[in-house]
Amino acid sequence: MTLSAVLGWALFLPFALHVTLSHSYLPRHLGTASGVTLGMATALGGLLTPLLGVLADGASPQAVFAALAGVIAAAVPLLPVPP
């Protein structure tokens, strides 16, 4: 239960940051920037959910959490370091 809460928090935490960043890219079209950013995130989640379901059916739900934790761990070194 704790792992799922941490993963949920980590997966949804950057939405506000992404929307704010998209506003800086398209300052005259804030609605478009927000819509495209959240739409792409939702579409990607919708595409990956069946794959995670197959993994959960084939292995276990714990394997899905391990895969998501691995993706997050792999993405951490790619984060920009503030000056």
User: What DSSP string runs through 26-83?
Assistant: STT-HHHHHHHHHHHHHHHHHHHHHHHHHHHHHT-HHHHHHHHHHHHHHHGGGSPPP-
Number of domains, the chain: 1
In a domain, 83, yes or no: no
Domain of residue 12: give its range.
2-75
pTM score = 0.61
pLDDT digits 0-9 by tens, 8-18: 787 778 888 88
pLDDT in tens, the chain (83 residues): 687 788 778 777 888 888 888 899 899 999 999 999 889 888 988 999 999 999 999 999 999 999 989 998 998 899 888 77
In a domain, 29, yes or no: yes
In a domain, 16, yes or no: yes
What is the DSSP code (8-state) at residue 13? Answer: T
In a domain, 45, yes or no: yes
Predicted local distance difference test score (pLDDT) of residue 72:
87
In a domain, 80, yes or no: no
Integer CA distances (angstroms), 11 to 23, 25, 38, 42, 56, in order: 21, 23, 13, 12, 18
In a domain, 82, yes or no: no
In a domain, 81, yes or no: no
